[in-house]
Amino acid sequence: MRYVLTAAMLRERGATCAQVDAFEAEWPDGATPTKKNFLRAAALGLDLGWMADNFLPSAAVDVYRKAVVAAAAAYAKAGVAALVASRKAAAMALWRVARELLAKGEETDASPVAPE
């Protein structure tokens, strides 16, 4: 089964108009949850934390949040140059958590995550 995240799904979960518009401009037919797409979402400034909160079970959100805290700490030490790296780390954390959950067959709001 192939999972596709759509602008309609974001709207249903209460994403802001700006987030939905940015998502839809990049992926008018929806996006599969791949590493490439999570990294692109981070580059576009989409709210990955909101995505995690709205599409992952709470235990997975905790794992994601811990990874983001570690990335934010690294950013704070390194300064502005690390902002992009911090966003990429958040995207990678979201991708890894989603992939692991789905590989285990755990109940989520998502279907299988593409490998890359």
pLDDT in tens, 57-66: 888 889 889 9
Host domain of residue 70? 7-104
Confidence label for 25 from pLDDT (cuts 50, 70 and 90): very high
The count of domains in the chain is 1
Is 113 a member of any domain?
no
Q: Does 112 fall in a domain? A: no
With CA atoms as reference, report the closest residue to 16 among 58, 50, 57. 50
Where do we find the tokens 């950013």? 75
Asked whether 91 and 69 are in contact (CB, 8 A), the reply is: no
In a domain, 110, yes or no: no
The answer, yes or no, to whether residue 55 has pLDDT greater than 50, is yes
This prediction's pTM? 0.68
End-to-end CA distance of the chain: 16
| Residue 25: inside a domain | yes
Tell me whether residue 111 is in a domain: no
Please check whether residue 11 lies inside any domain of the structure: yes
114 inside domain: no
